[in-house]
Chains A and B, each alone.
Chain A
Amino acid sequence: MIGRYRPVFLRWTLVSAAFIGVWQGIVTLSGTPPYILPPPWLVAVTWVANSAILFDHFLVTLTEIVLGLVLGAMLGIASAVLIGQFRSARRWLLPVLVASQAIPVFALAPVLVLWLGYGMMSKVAMATLIIFFPVSAAFLDGLRRTERGWLDLAHTMTELPGNASTSWGARRRWSVLVHVQIPGASPALASGLRVATAIAPIGAIVGEWVGSSAGLGYLMLHANARMQVDLMFAALVTLAVFSVLLWFAVDAALRRAIPWQSDSFNHPEGRPT
C-alpha cells in the first residue's frame, strides 16, 4: 500500500519545492522587501511561531466549510429531486435556483452578515449558497438522463395486476426514484460534489472578509492591515494545503462510495498519456 503512495508523496514534494524555489527566486531577483512579498523561509518561521493562532482560526474556517458543504449538498440534492419529480417545482424553483447564482456572493455577503451576524452562521450561509448550485445542477442532470431501459423495466415490474390500491401510484414513483433513478444519477451527483468541494472555501473566506471576528479570512485581513504580510501568507498556505487535502479526501470517498462507476482512465484507450 505504501509503495503505491510513495510516488504521490514524491510528486507533491517536487511540486512544492518547485513552487517555493520560484517564489524565492522572485524575491531574490526583484529585491522586493519582505513587507510586500515575504520570502518562503520567513513565512515558514511565522507559520511555526503562530501555529497556535493559525490552528484556532483554521478550526473556525474548517467548521464553516464543512457545515456549508453538508448543508449545501443536502439542499442541492433536495432541490434536484423536487425539480426532477414535480413539474410545478421545475417552474417555480428553477428560476430561483438560477437567480441565486446570478447574484454575486460578494454583493450578498454584507447583507448576510447584517442579517445573520458576525458569527459563523453568515459564513455557513455563504458557503451553502455557493455550494448548492453545482450539486443541484449536476444531480438534476443525472436524474434527467436515467437509462430509459431501466425505467421501462421498472415500469413493468411495478405495475400491479387488477385495480391496485390508489396509494400505490405515489409509492411506485417513490420506489423507482429511490431504487433506480437516484442510484443511477449518483455518478453525476459525485461530479457536482467534487466541484462544490473545490469552491467551498470561497464562500467561507468571502464571508470572513466582509465581517467576522475569527477564521483564516479574518486573520488574513487583520494581518494585511497591520502589514504582517508574512502572517497573511502563512494563513493562505494553510488554506491552500487544506483545500487540496479536502478535495482529494472527498474524491477518494466518492470513488469508494460508487465503485461500479466506469472509469475510462483505467482503460488503455482512455488512459491519459
Chain B
Amino acid sequence: MSTSTSSALEPIPSGRAAQNVAFSVRLKAARFTYAANVLFERLDFELQGGMLTCLLGPSGVGKSTLLRMLAGLTLDCTAHDIQCSDGKPLGGRVAYMDQRDLLLPWLSVLENVTLGARLRGEPRDRERAQSLLLRVGLAGQENEPPASLSGGMRQRVALARTLMEDRPVVLMDEPFSALDALTRFKLQNLAAELLRGRTVLLVTHDPIEALRLGERIHVMSGQPAEIDEALCPWGTTPRDPATLHRQPLHAELMRRLGLDRAHDR
C-alpha cells in the first residue's frame, strides 16, 4: 500500500543528529504585525522534543510566519524569543521544507539532495544521499534533471534533501498540500517513518493529515491569533485513515476548527 514497505528493511541512514538527544523548542512572546494588523502577539508555542507536532488553522492566521520565525527567516516586523531545552541556540539545527519542492533546475537529483554540503563547502556524502533516494523510491534517478520528474517525485527529492541535512529539528510548511491524494498519502507514510525521533513541526491546513501524522496537534485561530492546548491522538503514526474518525479527538479537532458547524451555513 505504501511506497515505504518495500524499503522498510533498509536501515534508516542516519548521521550526527540521530545520536543527539532530542530537545524541545519554545517560542516565547512571538509578535507579528502586518500593515497595522496585529496577527499575533505574546504568543507562546512549544515543540516537544522528538515528537511530530502539527499546527492547523485557517489560511492567513500566521502559521507559516510562526514556522519561519523558528527557521530564522523572518525580518523586522516580528519579535520573538526562542529557547531550546538543552540551552543551546536553535540556529543551525533546523532543516526546512516548503510546499514547493524548491529544487534547483540546473542541478541533478543527487546534487539537489546534497545541496547543503555544497553550500557549506563540505564533502558530499554520496552514499548517504543515494541510500536516502532509495528510501524515497528514487533509486536510479540520481542523475536526472528535476524537470524530468513528476510533482510527487520532485517532492520526494525535497524530502530526501531535508533528511540529508540531518538536523534535529525539521520544519515543514504544508509539504504535501500541492500533491494529489494518492501521492500525498504515500509521502505522509514515508515522512512519518523517516522523521521518527526528530522534533518536527508540520504546518498543514488538512485535519486528516494532522490526525494521520501528528503526535501533538495544535489549532491556531483568531486575531490576534492564539494557539490552544495540544490534542494527542492514540496510536503510532502514520495512522490508518479508515480509523481516524474513531479517534476520540476527531470530533474535538473538528469542533476547534469550526468544521462541526460547516453544514449549518
A interface residue numbers (CB < 8 A to B):
147, 149-150, 152-162, 164, 171-172, 175-176, 179-180, 183-184, 186, 258-262
List the A residue with the shortest CB-CB distance to B171. Answer: A156
* Contact-residue size bin, chain B (C-beta under 8 Å from the other chain): 20 to 34
Taking a contact as CB atoms under 8 Å apart, the answer to whether B92 and A260 are in contact is no
Q: Which residues of A contact B96 (CB under 8 A)?
A: 152-153, 156
Q: Which residues of A contact B94 (CB under 8 A)?
A: 156, 159
Taking a contact as CB atoms under 8 Å apart, the answer to whether B120 and A152 are in contact is no
List the A residue with the shortest CB-CB distance to B91. Answer: A159
Interface string of B100-113 (1 = CB under 8 A from A): 10101110000000
Our pick among B71, B98, B100, B119 for the contact of A158 (Cβ within 8 Å) is B119
Q: Which residues of B contact A184 (CB under 8 A)?
A: 104
Tell whether B121 is near chain A: CB-to-CB under 8 Å: yes
List the B residue with the shortest CB-CB distance to A153. Answer: B102
Interface string of B34-73 (1 = CB under 8 A from A): 0000000000000000000000000000000000100111
List the B residue with the shortest CB-CB distance to A260. Answer: B105
Min CB distance B146 to A, Å, is 8
Q: Which of B65-96 contact A (CB under 8 A)?
A: 68, 71-73, 88-89, 91-96
Tell whether B145 is near chain A: CB-to-CB under 8 Å: yes
12 additional A-B pairs beyond A155-B73, A176-B119, A179-B119, beta carbons within 8 Å, are A149-B100, A154-B119, A155-B71, A155-B72, A156-B72, A158-B119, A159-B91, A159-B92, A160-B120, A161-B88, A162-B89, A179-B115
Our pick among A149, A159, A176, A261 for the contact of B102 (Cβ within 8 Å) is A149
Taking a contact as CB atoms under 8 Å apart, the answer to whether A156 and B73 are in contact is yes
Shortest Cβ-Cβ A-B pairs, 5 listed: A161-B92, A157-B116, A260-B105, A156-B96, A159-B92
Tell whether B118 is near chain A: CB-to-CB under 8 Å: yes
Our pick among A150, A152, A175, A183 for the contact of B71 (Cβ within 8 Å) is A152
Tell whether B147 is near chain A: CB-to-CB under 8 Å: yes
Q: Which residues of A contact B105 (CB under 8 A)?
A: 260-261
Tell whether B209 is near chain A: CB-to-CB under 8 Å: no
Our pick among A147, A175, A183, A262 for the contact of B120 (Cβ within 8 Å) is A175
Q: What are 27 A-to-B residue pairs whose CB atoms are below 8 Å?
A: A147-B102, A149-B100, A152-B68, A152-B102, A153-B98, A153-B115, A154-B119, A156-B71, A156-B72, A156-B94, A157-B115, A157-B120, A158-B120, A159-B72, A160-B120, A161-B91, A161-B92, A161-B93, A162-B88, A164-B92, A179-B119, A184-B104, A259-B145, A260-B105, A260-B106, A260-B145, A262-B147
Q: Which residues of B contact A153 (CB under 8 A)?
A: 96, 98, 102, 115
- A-B contacts counted at CB < 8 A amount to 72
Tell whether B165 is near chain A: CB-to-CB under 8 Å: yes
Main secondary structure of the interface of B (DSSP, over half): loop
Q: How far is the CA of A161 from the CA of B73 in the complex (A)?
A: 16
Min CB distance A73 to B, Å, is 20
List the A residue with the shortest CB-CB distance to B93. Answer: A161
Q: How far is the CA of A156 from the CA of B69 in the complex (A)?
A: 12
Q: How far is the CA of A150 from the CA of B252 in the complex (A)?
A: 38
Q: Which residues of A contact B119 (CB under 8 A)?
A: 154, 157-158, 172, 175-176, 179-180
Q: Which residues of A contact B116 (CB under 8 A)?
A: 157
Min CB distance A199 to B, Å, is 28
Q: Which residues of A contact B102 (CB under 8 A)?
A: 147, 149-150, 152-153
Taking a contact as CB atoms under 8 Å apart, the answer to whether B92 and A160 are in contact is yes
List the B residue with the shortest CB-CB distance to A163. Answer: B89
Min CB distance A39 to B, Å, is 52
List the B residue with the shortest CB-CB distance to A154. Answer: B119
Q: How far is the CA of A152 from the CA of B73 in the complex (A)?
A: 7
Min CB distance B89 to A, Å, is 7
Q: How far is the CA of A263 from the CA of B86 in the complex (A)?
A: 50
Q: Which residues of B contact A259 (CB under 8 A)?
A: 145
Min CB distance A168 to B, Å, is 9
Taking a contact as CB atoms under 8 Å apart, the answer to whether A162 and B106 are in contact is no
Taking a contact as CB atoms under 8 Å apart, the answer to whether A175 and B121 are in contact is yes
Taking a contact as CB atoms under 8 Å apart, the answer to whether A162 and B100 are in contact is no
Q: How far is the CA of A161 from the CA of B169 in the complex (A)?
A: 12
Q: How far is the CA of A70 from the CA of B68 in the complex (A)?
A: 43
Q: How far is the CA of A259 from the CA of B120 in the complex (A)?
A: 26
Min CB distance A263 to B, Å, is 11
Min CB distance B200 to A, Å, is 14
Q: Which residues of A contact B68 (CB under 8 A)?
A: 152
Q: Which of A153, A158, A179, A183 has the most CB of B within 10 A?
A: A153
Q: Which of A179, A258, A262 has the most CB of B within 10 A?
A: A179
